[in-house]
Amino acid sequence: MTAPKQTRENDLEKLRELVKDIDFCMLTTVDEGGDLHSRPMSSNGDIDADGDIWFFTNASSHKVSEIAKLPKVNVSFADPDNQRYVSVSGTAQLVRDRAKIDELWRPEFKIWFPEGKADPEIALLRISLEKAEYGDSPGSTIEYALSFVSSLVTGKQPDLGENKKVNL
């Protein structure tokens, strides 16, 4: 269903528009036993120019150890009031770069990290977006195959850095 003329840039712009008012999304990971877990995350309202979504995290949290083993994740954005649902498939990587933490840090994050951005446990999760799908028409969202009328494939090869050789 993807229009042939869609460009990656247009796709990203569309995706940003879809999620810009959805503060919290659900990040789903797979644990060693194959069980799927999700938890709410703040996406800081942005998807960057590379198609990456960034989350602040505690470096020793359970999801970080899950991602180290199985980096494939899903990020879902739900806006029930507008019947808007977005599914993003991607690959997660832990990033401990202090310059990036400085760049993305906002004072209000002290709610979650009372010690501030100097907290050595603070890290980032970078989700490299590989595919996004969405439904935004009321009454057509129960059946994925029918309702998710647009598929955004970025064409990006995710840079997995040290996780490059981890395959599922």
Our finding on whether 61 is near a second copy (CB under 8 A) is yes
Which residue in 8, 14, 58, 160 binds a second copy (CB under 8 A)? 58
Q: Are 168 and 72 in contact (CB under 8 A)?
A: yes
Q: Which range of residues in 9-17, 46-54, 82-90, 95-103 is near a second copy by CB under 8 A?
A: 82-90
Q: Which residues pair with 123 in a beta bridge?
A: 57
Closest by Cα among 30, 52, 26, 56 to 40: 26
- Count residues contacting a second copy (CB under 8 A)? 53
Kindly give the residue spans of alpha helices, DSSP state H, lying in the chain.
8-19, 62-69, 98-104, 144-147
Structure tokens at 20: 């810009």
C-alpha angle 108-112-117 in degrees, rounded to nearest 5: 70
Our finding on whether 148 is near a second copy (CB under 8 A) is yes
Our finding on whether 70 is near a second copy (CB under 8 A) is yes
Binding to a second copy by CB under 8 A, coded x per residue (else -) over 102-131, reads ---------xx-----------------xx
Which residue in 15, 30, 53, 101 binds a second copy (CB under 8 A)? 30
Which residue in 11, 15, 51, 74 binds a second copy (CB under 8 A)? 74
